[in-house]
Amino acid sequence: MSKVTVSARSLGPSIDRRIFGHFLENMGRSIYAGGLLDKNGRPRAEIIDKIKALHVPSLRWPGGLFADGYHWTNGIGEHRPKKRNLYWGQFGSWLGPTDLNQFGTDEFLQLCEHLGAEPYVNINFANGTPQEAADWVAYCNDRPSGISGRLRAANGHDAAYNVRVWGIGNEQYGFWAFGHTTAERYARRYLEFHHAMSEADPGITPVAVGATEMWPNWNPTVLHILQEKLRYLSMHVYLPGTNVPYLLMRLPNNAKTHYALSAAGYEMSRQIHAAADQITAEYGRETHVRLAVDEWNLWWWWLQAYKVWWTMRDAVAVGGMLGALVENCQHVAMANIAQLINVLGVIRTSPAAVVATPLYHVLEMFASTLSGFRLETREEG
Q: What pLDDT, on a 0 to 100 scale, did the predictor assign at position 254?
A: 80
CA dihedral of residues 271, 275, 280, 285 (deg, nearest 10):
-50
Q: How many angstroms separate the CA atoms of 172 and 179, rounded? A: 6
Q: What pLDDT, on a 0 to 100 scale, did the predictor assign at position 243?
A: 54
Instruction: Write the DSSP symbol of residue 30.
Output: S
Could you write out the DSSP letters of every residue in 222-248? HHHHHTT--SEEEEEEEEE--SHHHHT
Helix, coil or strand: residue 163: coil
Domains in the chain, CATH or no CATH each? 3-380 (3.20.20.80)
Q: How many angstroms separate the CA atoms of 193 and 162, rounded? A: 18
- The amino acid occupying position 193 is F
Q: How many angstroms separate the CA atoms of 356 and 133, rounded? A: 35
Q: What pLDDT, on a 0 to 100 scale, did the predictor assign at position 48?
A: 98
Residues of the chain with pLDDT under 50: none
pLDDT digits (tens, 9 = 90+) for 48-98: 999 999 999 999 999 999 999 999 999 999 999 999 999 999 999 999 999
Return all residues near 126 (Cβ < 8 A) that are at least 6 apart.
68, 69, 169, 172, 177, 178, 179
CB 272 within 8 A of CB 326: no
Backbone φ and ψ of 208, nearest 5°: -95, 155
Among residues 269, 270, 338, 344, the alpha carbon closest in space to that of 300 is found at: 344
